[in-house]
Amino acid sequence: MGGAPDIQDLIVRIERLESALARAAVSTDVESVVLRDRNGTPRALLSVEDGAPCLRFADAAVRSRLVLGIAPDGAPFVELADAKGGPRARLSTAPRA
């Protein structure tokens, strides 16, 4: 009592852990993922737009305020919008020649 577990207990524990890990290693293919706040309001969207990945963050009024993505030409970009959703700044790199 209070001593080290015997080898059989360790084997059972390892098998349980392996089983749990196998169940957790799930892959899902989707076209988009929407993250919602506690009220169910969409606040972030990860999707593919024009064949390129895009991550959009929205305010409480569901206006896109921050966008991170890769343009169809391969150039990465960051876009910032004001409280009305209007574009305010864009940072991007030039596509490779």
Q: What digits encode the pLDDT tens for the residues 3-46?
A: 777 888 888 888 888 888 777 766 777 889 999 999 999 999 99
Domain 28-92 belongs in CATH node 2.60.40.1220: no
Predicted TM-score (pTM) of this structure? 0.67
Q: Are 48 and 68 in contact, with CB atoms under 8 Å apart?
A: no
Q: Are 37 and 43 in contact (CB under 8 A)?
A: yes
Confidence of residue 84 (pLDDT cuts 50, 70, 90): very high
Q: What is the pLDDT of residues 49-80, one digit of tens each?
A: 888 999 999 999 999 999 999 988 889 999 99
Residue 78 bridge partners (DSSP): 68, 91
Candidates 19, 56, 61, 18; CA nearest to 35 is: 56
